[in-house]
Every structure is written in structure tokens, then in C-alpha cells.
Amino acid sequence: MTLDVRGVPPSELESVLGRIVALNHTIFEGMFPWEPYSLEHYRKRLTGVMPVVFVAEQDNEIIGDSIAYKYEDPNNHSHYIWILGVQEQYRKKGIATMFLDFNEQFARKFDCDSVIVKSYNISKDMQRLLLKRNYDIIAVDRNENPKYKGVHFELDLSPEE
């Protein structure tokens, strides 16, 4: 069994996007009170941006993914990780860490000022990983149910003085 974590070239994205959406349905279904995003939602969200997509595959089966993009705002030079998920049976094997490594390398290469990730309180392992990697909490969304509060994290990539 071979584990491979790789970037998805733009020319291949449409051919794997359906598999990514199906995987994310298995990862996130039942985790939140709302339905996981549809294929159409992914396509709409990724229109007009340069998506940065990484997948983890075991024996040609996608077991995890990360979808990010650079904000296209002249006042905001951040790399935003929109989705990051790993099938439960493959967690705690360093896959999410590899996704973060690749995203942070990409952000540095393209002169982003920061990496931003939104994680919900229901995803405590992800939040611990981000804090361990020196991400700062920059905002918390309001929600009546504390486990669905969105917590916004940022890793400052500014050169140290």
C-alpha cells in the first residue's frame, strides 16, 4: 500500500473534483448540521480564483484533500485554505501536516503575507495542529452552538526582523 500526497495540476482538477467532493461528503457528513457542499458549489467557489489542490492517495484512492486559493484582493495577499479533510481511518498519520506544509510552501513561493484557515470547534484535532504550527486565532464566528463556531486562524509569513 503506497501513500502519495501530490498537487493536482489545473488541467486535471475537473477530472478529480467529483472524487474529491464524494470523499468530502464521507468525511464531513453528519459532522455539521448542514449538508456538505455539492459539486456545483465547489465549481462556483473555485471560479475566478487559482485553486491550489492537494490530494493524498492510497492505491489510487483519494483519502484526503486540501483545497486553497490566493485571495485576489489587492489589499489582502493571503493564501486561504478553504477545505482540508482526511478520512478518519487515515488520520494521525501526518497527512494533514503534509497538506499544511505544501500550502505554506506555496504561499511563501507566491509572496503571500499569510495563510488563513477556518476550523470549527467540532474539529479540535485540527485546531490543536494549527496552534502547534504557530497559527494565531484572529477571529471567532458567533453561533448558538459552541461546537459549530468557526475559528479563523492565521500564520503570519512576514519575514522576521
CATH class, 3-156 region: alpha beta
Listed by start position, the domains of the chain span 3-156
pTM summary value: 0.91
Q: What is the mean pLDDT of residues 40-47?
A: 92
pLDDT digits (tens, 9 = 90+) for 95-134: 999 999 999 999 999 999 999 999 988 899 999 999 999 9
pLDDT confidence band for 66 (50 / 70 / 90): very high
d(CA 156, CA 136) in angstroms, rounded, equals 8
Q: SS3 sequence, the chain? A: CCEEEEEECHHHHHHHHHHHHHHHHHHHCCCCCCCCCCHHHHHHHHCCCCEEEEEEEECCEEEEEEEEEECCECCECEEEEEEEEECHHHCCCCHHHHHHHHHHHHHHHCCCCEEEEEEECCCHHHHHHHHHCCCEEEEECCCCCHHHCEEEEEEECCCCC
d(CA 107, CA 155) in angstroms, rounded, equals 10
